[in-house]
Structure 1
Amino acid sequence: MKYSLCADIMFVAVGEKGPIWPDTDGIIEAMKLAKKNGLTGIEMFGLEGRDLERIAAASRELGIEIRACVSAGAALLGNPDKTEELVSLFEQSVPKAKQIGCSNLILNAEEYARNLSSDEVIKVMEDALKRLAVIAEKEDVTILVEPVTGGFFTSSKQAFGLIEKVGSNNVKLLYDIFHFQNIEGQITETIKENLNLIGDIHGAGAPMRAELTVGELDYTFILNTVKELGYEGNFCLEFFTFENRDMKVEASCKVLPA
């Protein structure tokens, strides 16, 4: 298993008008924090407004991979009126992701069509992902579909069923343990049954999205189970920390299997 930090979540600040996401310097600081703790990668949100040349150079210098980023238009998956825009924005995001050595692009469907039935939304998602899969296969990148708390997906069966319908090795599920604990629980059993459809795993303490050592989830048990299953992909620390960042990252890293 490979380990990384989510740079944006880890370095977000709270402003008067809401969250202040890290700039290029913040992304590079996340790389340094990852390296300090023996991690080998980071993940990040959007690519727009960031100095991709500097990020790429820091990635090479520090030996820290950028394992995933959020595609422009990520929220539009599941909205039939926005599918053309989604495809266009994804096509624009791919070369930017490649510029920083990233081959995994995340879609989260947060702005799905709420006027449609669940079955209709799934069909819209399936059709869009099949179109995007053609691009992903040609460009040798992977699309990661991420169900989130309060979003469209209400079960892992529904989410993994969508990935199976698309039927492309370049379209996988981003299994976020924190979100799926909120959605349904049954973490390790679900991973066991669907490991071949998982392209990335995120983790945070639940229910408060804190470091791995806080909350109702036993990450030592979960991650050792995942390792025993033969998972060789990425596990990303994706928790909020507004103080004592170094201490909380260090504590979380202690539960990661070697």
Structure 2
Amino acid sequence: MKYSLCADIMFVAVGEKGPVWPDTDGIIEGMKLAKKNGLTGIEMFDLEGRDLDRIAAAGKELGIEIRACVSAGASLLGDPAKTGELVSLFTQSVPKAKQIGCSRLILNAADYAKDLSAEKVLAAMEDALKRLAPIAEKEGVTVLVEPLTGGFFTSSKQAFGLIKNVGSEHVKLLYDMFHFQNIEGQITETIKANLELIGDLHGAGAPMRAELTVGELDYAFILNTVKELGYEGNFCLEFFTFENRDEKVAASCKVLPA
């Protein structure tokens, strides 16, 4: 298994008008923090507004991979009126992701069409993902669909069913254990039943999105189970911390299987 750190979450600050996400320097600091703790990658949010050449160079210098990033238009998945815009924005994001050596782009459906039935939203998602799949295959990238706490998806069955219906090796689910603990629980059994459909794993202490050693999830047990299943993909630490960052990352890394 490979381990990564979400640089955006790790270095977000609180401003007068809400969160202040890190700039290019913050992303590079995330790389340095990952390397310091023996992690071999990071994940990041937006590609826009950041110096991608500097990020790519820093990754090579530090030996840190950028394993996933958020596609432009990520929130539009599930809105049939905006599927064309999503496809266009995703297509524009692919070369930018490749510029930093990243081959997996995240869609989160945060702005799905809330005035439509669940069936129609799922149909819109399936249509969009079937349009994105051949683009992803041609470009050698993977689309990751990430269900969020309080978002559209209400069960893993619903989410994995969508991925099965799309039927592409280039469209996978980003299974975030923090979010799915809030949505339904049953983390290890769900992973066991759907491992082949998972393209990335995220984790944070639940329900408060803290470090891995805090909350109701036993990450040592979960991750050892995942390792025994033969999972060789990525697990990303994605938790908030506004103080004692180094100590909390170091403590979290101690529960990661070797």
Q: TM-score range by the shorter chain?
A: over 0.9
Q: Distance in 1 between matches of 2:210 and 2:3?
A: 17
Match of 2:86?
Answer: 86
TM-score for the superposition, normalised by structure 2 = 1.00
Residue type of the partner of 2:196? Answer: N
Find the aligned partners of 1:109 and 1:97 in 2 and give their Cα distance. Answer: 19
Q: CA offsets per residue over residues 12-56 of structure 1, 9 Å max, x none?
A: 000000000000000000000000000000000000000000000
Gaps of 5+ in 1: none
Per-residue Cα deviation, 1:127-182 (whole angstroms, up to 9, x for no partner): 10000001000000000000000000000000000000000000000000000000
1:115 Cα deviation after fit? 1.1
Write out per-residue CA displacement over residues 108-139 of structure 1, whole angstroms, 9 at most, x where no aligned residue.
00100111111111010001000000100000
Task: Using the TM superposition, give the Cα deviation of residue 8 of structure 1 relative to its aligned residue in structure 2, in angstroms.
Answer: 0.3
Which consecutive unaligned segments of at least 5 residues does structure 2 have? none
Is 1:235 aligned to residue 238 of structure 2? Answer: no
Query: Residue in 2 aligned with 1:97?
Result: 97
SS of the residue corresponding to residue 5 of structure 1 reads strand
Structure-1-length-normalised TM-score: 1.00
After the TM superposition, which parts of structure 1 deviate over 3 Å for at least 4 consecutive aligned residues? none
| In structure 2, distance between residues paired with 1:67 and 1:61 | 16
2:90 corresponds to 1:64: no
> In 2, distance between residues paired with 1:147 and 1:191?
14
Paired residue for 2:248?
Answer: 248
Residues paired across the two proteins, number: 258
State the percentage of identical aligned residues.
86
Structure-to-structure mapping, 1:104-183, within 5 angstroms = 104-183=104-183
Equivalence for 1:9? 9
For the residue of structure 1 that corresponds to 2:110, the secondary structure is: coil
The equivalent residue for 1:76 is 76
**2:133, 2:142 → 1: CA distance?**
8
SS class of match (2:202): strand
What letter matches 1:93 in structure 2? S
C-alpha deviations, 1:50-82, integer Å up to 9, x for none? 000000000000000000000000000000111
Rounded Cα–Cα distance in structure 2 between residues aligned with 1:61 and 1:178: 32
Q: CA deviation at 1:91?
A: 0.4
Aligned to 1:28: 28
Residue 231 of structure 1, CA deviation: 0.3
The CA deviation at 1:183 is 0.1
Residue type at the aligned position of 1:198: I
Please, what is the CA RMSD of the aligned residues?
0.3
CA distance in 2, matches of 1:113, 1:245: 37
Helix, strand or coil for the counterpart of 1:134?
A: helix
Amino acid at match of 2:77: L
Deviation at 1:85, TM superposition (A): 0.5
Distance 1:105 1:143 in 2: 5
Distance 1:34 1:205 in 2: 18
Match of 2:185 in 1: 185
Give 1:101 shift: 0.0
